[in-house]
Chain A
Amino acid sequence: MNNSAKSSPDDLLLDYLDGKLEGTSLQSLKQQLEQSPALQTRLEELRLIHLHLSSARLESPSNDFVDRVMKNLSASSAAASALSPRNGLLLIIGILVAGGILAFMLSSGTFDNANGVISLEKAKPATKYIQYTLPSLPLKGKVILDSILGIAILLCLVVLDRTVLRPLFQKKTAF
């Protein structure tokens, strides 16, 4: 605390209430208090605050507090061990490498001709009593692989969030 703050009457009174004044400072304040009713009033105001705050005590949590912490700890340890940040990063790298190869193959036109038709007629049960024709489904390899690539990117983002970003932010807010 600086000197000017020390010299303020309130600071002297608060030091007095904290029991930090001694010697000549204490004698000087006592003399001032005897001569100044305003200072006495202020001391009483500050004493009220001091007494109220001094009643603060340690509070006790519920009886099963420890059990609940240990139970939550076991649950969170099980969840954390499922995918560590290191494993998460390895998984992301794996997905990105596979996705990169796929994207390269797609852009180089490897799957441009991978089109076909799935005929449901072959799956029809062989019976002479049911007479109908089943439709055929067009199959476009490029569209399917584009979808797989999209899902892989989405999966990467989810893994990144769950295994790397979320624990990192939790760690930052903890300290």
Chain B
Amino acid sequence: MISLQEEHSLIDRILAGDQGAYARLVDNYKSYAYTIALKVLNTRPEAEEAAQDAFIKAYRYLKNFNRQARFSTWLYRIVVNTAISYRRKNPHQLASIEHHDRAVEEGGGMENKDRQVFLGRAIDNLNDADRLAIQLYYIKEFSLEEVAEMTGQNMNTLKVRVHRARQRLADELKRLLKEEALTL
């Protein structure tokens, strides 16, 4: 992780025409940008493309970046908006392959895997704003302020949204498990 001072120095060098210095910034934030894009898009190739596109946009508009804010939150906002525009172009690619992958990767008993799949399905059933808010909220590397900035909401609205989304998830999981039990 680079310090704030180093970040500002890199930005100065980039603005002075040193394109190579941008590679250091990209390397520092690539995982964050990719994770955000993945949470919006749910598919790895598209998330990678959107994250790359976001870095190119950030470079292009770097001169407009206000130094009062953190570069990270400014970049994350660009990533969210870029990923959302990608999803608008391909709305059909919403199948939650990631949740299933995660369930298989984590292993555990059959009951645990089933529960993971059900939870993945319940998350998919949330509306876009709730799903994104709750997924970013739980990534410990992102602060509440950063998630609020990324999703364009104030912190109280975000907290309420995350609470409501978790309530809905619990209700949805109960319903899915009940339905499943009835079909057995």
The answer for the CA separation of A121 and B21 in the assembled complex, in Å, is 66
A66 contacts B30, CB within 8 Å?
Answer: yes
B163 contacts A10, CB within 8 Å?
Answer: yes
The answer for the CA separation of A147 and B111 in the assembled complex, in Å, is 74
Determine whether B174 belongs to the interface, using a CB cutoff of 8 Å to chain A: yes
Q: Chain A contacts of B146 at CB under 8 A?
A: none
B19 contacts A65, CB within 8 Å?
Answer: no
What size tier do the contact residues of chain A reach?
A: 35 or more
Interface residues of A in 115-153 (CB under 8 A from B): none
Q: Chain A contacts of B138 at CB under 8 A?
A: 53-54, 56
Nearest-neighbour CB distance to chain A for B152, whole angstroms, equals 10
- Grouping DSSP codes into helix (H, G, I), strand (E, B) and loop, the A interface class, with mixed when no group exceeds half, is helix
Q: Chain B contacts of A5 at CB under 8 A?
A: 160, 163
Interface-lining segment among A40-48, A90-98, A102-110: A40-48
The answer for the CA separation of A42 and B171 in the assembled complex, in Å, is 9
Q: Chain A contacts of B116 at CB under 8 A?
A: 52
Determine whether A62 belongs to the interface, using a CB cutoff of 8 Å to chain B: yes
A55-73 contact mask (Cβ, 8 Å, vs B): 1 or 0: 1111111100110111011
A70 contacts B26, CB within 8 Å?
Answer: yes
Please list the residues of chain B having a beta carbon within 8 angstroms of any beta carbon in chain A.
19-20, 22-23, 26-27, 30-32, 34-35, 38, 47-48, 51-52, 54-61, 77-78, 81-82, 85, 102, 106, 115-116, 119, 134-135, 137-139, 141, 156, 159-160, 163, 166-167, 169-170, 173-174
Residue in contact with B34 in the complex, picked from A42, A45, A60, A173, CB distance below 8 Å: A60
Known contacts A46-B166, A170-B57, then 11 further A-B pairs from the complex at CB < 8 Å, ordered by chain A residue: A1-B160, A5-B160, A14-B167, A49-B173, A53-B135, A56-B139, A58-B32, A65-B48, A69-B23, A73-B19, A173-B82
B173 contacts A72, CB within 8 Å?
Answer: no
Please list the residues of chain A having a beta carbon within 8 angstroms of any beta carbon in chain B.
1, 5, 10-11, 14, 42, 45-46, 48-50, 52-62, 65-66, 68-70, 72-74, 76-77, 80, 170-171, 173-175
CB closest residue in chain B, given A74: B19
Residue in contact with A56 in the complex, picked from B19, B81, B135, CB distance below 8 Å: B135
